[in-house]
Amino acid sequence: MKHLAIAALAARHALHARGEAVARAVFYLAILVVLSSLWRALGADGSYVWYVALTEWVVLAMPLLSVEIEEDVRRGDIAYRIARPVSYLWTKVAEGLGNGLVRLAMIGGCGGVAAWLLTGTPPPRGVLLSLPLATLSFFLLVLWQAALGLTAFWIGDTQPLFWVWQKLLFLLGGLLFPLDVYPEWLQRAAYFTPFAPLLHGWARLALDPDPALSAETGLLLAGWGVALVVFLAWLYRRALVVLDVNGG
């Protein structure tokens, strides 16, 4: 209940931080203009633009928890935040989910209209099928962000790790191009990583609206979600131990 209230409060804050949402939406539109030009030059149909509209949508709405947690650790604010009667980690996750979901709604509308205008076609049937999975994927992205942020307890600066994680989303997650574009061996390898189901797994429904694919991706996302929650809880416990050592 406490975390729900925290998420609701963060959502209310996000409703007022319109500048941030506008900045992200403008960048989102620029990406769609570029990618639609690329696919048009290759003679591909509009579903590829809808694909990238979906993947970029959840990634651009993602809260940068890693930066916030790193700041808390660097400034030492963490010392009094962990003393509160709610878990610091799950408070950050709840805040991230609260403001991220509002941004998801805000920029989602812009992306939908832009993709429609750029392709001249309404959203393919698979786009609607992918929306619940997109929300689940967004939840996982928030957990990833929290995990990256917690590494600040050991390495201080989380940005280098974030860059590489983000690029793995491009390469193995299919953030820009569907994985079908890549050689067979890479597609197979990507499915053994958490990145492929995170974006390509459900966004490919824009290209191939197969309910069986949707169910399979849902299960994979749920599995990776549970693994991430367990990993986060473990990482947080370890982080507190390190903090005790440093503070002693």
Partner 1 sequence: MRYLGALLLTNLKASVALRGAFWARAVFMALNNGIMLVLWMLFFLRYRDVNGWRAADTVAIYAVTATAYGLAVILGHGVTDLARRIHEGGLDAFLTQPKDVLLQCVASKSEASGWGDLLSGVVLFAVAGHLAPATLPVCIVTAVSGAAIFLSWNVMFHSLAFWLGDTTTVSRQAIHFVLLFSLYPSTIFGGWLKLLLFTALPAGFIGYLPVDLLHRFSWGSLLAVAAAAVGYVALAALVFRLGLRRYQSGSRFA
Footprint on this chain of partner 1 (rule: CB under 8 A): 19-20, 23, 26-27, 30-31, 33-34, 37-38, 40-42, 155-157, 159-161, 163-164, 166-168, 170-171, 176-177, 181-183, 186
Q: Outline where DSSP puts E strands in the chain.
A: none
Q: How far is the CB of 226 from partner 1 (least distance, A)?
A: 28
Shortest distance, CB of residue 229 to partner 1, whole angstroms?
27
Provide, rounded to whole angstroms, the least separation between the CB of residue 80 and partner 1.
Answer: 26
Cβ 87 to partner 1, closest distance in Å? 29
118-124-128-130 Cα dihedral, nearest 10 degrees: -90
Cα dihedral 216, 222, 226, 229 sign: positive
Q: How far is the CB of 3 from partner 1 (least distance, A)?
A: 29
Q: Which is nearer to partner 1, 5 or 33 (CB)?
A: 33
Q: Count CA atoms within 13 Å of residue 117 on its CB side.
A: 9
CB-nearer residue toward partner 1: 104 or 176: 176
Which of 131/161 has CB closer to partner 1? 161
Contact 25, 110 (CB under 8 A): yes
Question: Please, which residue, 181 or 242, has the CB nearer to partner 1?
Answer: 181
CA distance 153 to 69: 9
| Shorter beta-carbon distance to partner 1: residue 35 or 133 | 35
Q: Which of 110, 87, 72 is nearest to 232 (CA)?
A: 87
Q: How far apart are CA 90 and CA 53, in angstroms?
A: 29
Q: Could you tell me the smallest distance in angstroms from the CB atom of residue 218 to partner 1?
A: 27
User: Please, which residue, 28 or 139, has the CB nearer to partner 1?
Assistant: 28
- Helix boundaries (H) for 76-124: 78-81, 88-119
